[in-house]
Amino acid sequence: MDSESLHYSLDLAAGNGLTLSSEQRAALQTSLVILKRNYKFSRVLFWGKILGIKCDYFIAQGVEDDEMKNKKSLYSLNCMDWHLLPPATESMIADVALAAQGRFTGDPSHEYEHTETRIKGEGDDATEEEVTVKVNEASRLATAVSNIDKDASVVPRGAFTKSPSGKVQTNRSFGGLDPIEAAKLRNYLHFREPVNLKKKSILEMSHLNPAIDFLDPLSEDNPKGGKTPSPLSRRARGEQVHLDASNSG
């Protein structure tokens, strides 16, 4: 949620049972502005909250000119001091999937371990090796944020445009979706590198507007019927909203 509209948009996302206390809201407003200046972001978004056993993590994301590239994620334990999260690479995601089980502990330096005995070599030369995979909780946090973004980051159609040079920017003339349009799943798009788009036939692509439809719509997700937009709790504006209670494990 954009830091500038955070204080009034927070109530709209509160239907899921989690809000921020007034102290946290006040702290966020102060610290996000400072963060924007320090990292020279063009927009700072409050991504959400991940619950841990001892402490909760608050996550913010910053974008520079292009909305989709170079998104940096930061975490904080007290809404004031922010630390950069490492970018999630494929190997990190694979390691985390092996090693990290159970809840987030709330301690960013906590290490998860997973030992496997693998047999290397062939035949008589086979030797057993113990392979230990160690994962930091900060890496686990980074992968969790990246996975959630990949699956659940949703924007209304028309909120972002892609310029011919490939830059993705907010569409300043987006006035919100019509109430009838807002009830249809195909007007909501995944905000991530498109997966299905290139597989479409030219006939299907003729209906699409290349400036607006450069992302995957939700209606093509499997399993079908997994998402239903409820018209009362969803306000179609150009904002991404995540208030998440992440129970990974």
Q: Tell me how many degrees the CA angle 176-233-46 measures, rounded to the nearest 5.
A: 75
Q: Are 64 and 41 in contact (CB under 8 A)?
A: yes
Which single residue is written with the structure tokens 């969803």?
234
Residues 6+ apart with CB under 8 A from 110: 136, 137
Binding-site member from 2, 4, 7, 12 for another protein (CB under 8 A): 12
Task: Mark the segment that binds another protein (CB under 8 A) among 14-22, 111-119, 146-154, 209-217.
Answer: 14-22
Q: How many residues bind another protein (CB under 8 A)?
A: 31
Q: What is the dihedral of CA 92, 97, 99, 104, to 10 degrees?
A: 100
Is 245 a binder of another protein (CB under 8 A)? Answer: yes
Residue from 18, 133, 138, 152 in contact with another protein (CB under 8 A) = 18
* Alpha-carbon span 234 to 130, nearest angstrom: 50
Quote the least distance from Cβ 175 to another protein, whole Å: 17
- Lay out the site mask for another protein across 30-69 (x = CB under 8 A, - = otherwise): -------------------x-x-xxxx-------------
Nearer to another protein, 138 or 183 (CB): 183
Q: Which is closer to another protein, CB of 51 or CB of 133?
A: 51
237 to 95, 159, 170, 179, 182: CA distances (angstroms): 37, 8, 11, 12, 10
Per-residue tokens: 161: 């445009």
* Shortest distance, position 94 Cβ to another protein, whole Å: 18
Q: Which of 2, 4, 19, 110 binds another protein (CB under 8 A)?
A: 19
Identify residues 105-144 at the interface with another protein (CB under 8 A): none
Residue (53 or 126) nearer to another protein, CB = 53
Q: CB under 8 Å to 76, separation ≥6 — which residues?
A: 31, 57, 58, 60, 82, 83
Min separation Cβ 155 and another protein, Å: 21
164 versus 179: smaller Cβ distance to another protein: 179
Place of tokens 């230990």: 132
Q: What distances in angstroms separate CA 224 from CA 36, 102, 110, one per listed residue?
A: 39, 28, 38
Residue corresponding to tokens 């310029």: 163
For residue 23, give the H/E element and its range: helix 22-39
Stretch that binds another protein, among 8-16, 143-151, 153-161, 206-214 (CB under 8 A): 8-16
- Cβ nearer to another protein, comparing 54 with 120: 54
* Site residues (vs another protein, CB under 8 A): 11-12, 14-24, 49, 51, 53-56, 78, 101-103, 179, 228, 230-232, 245, 247, 249
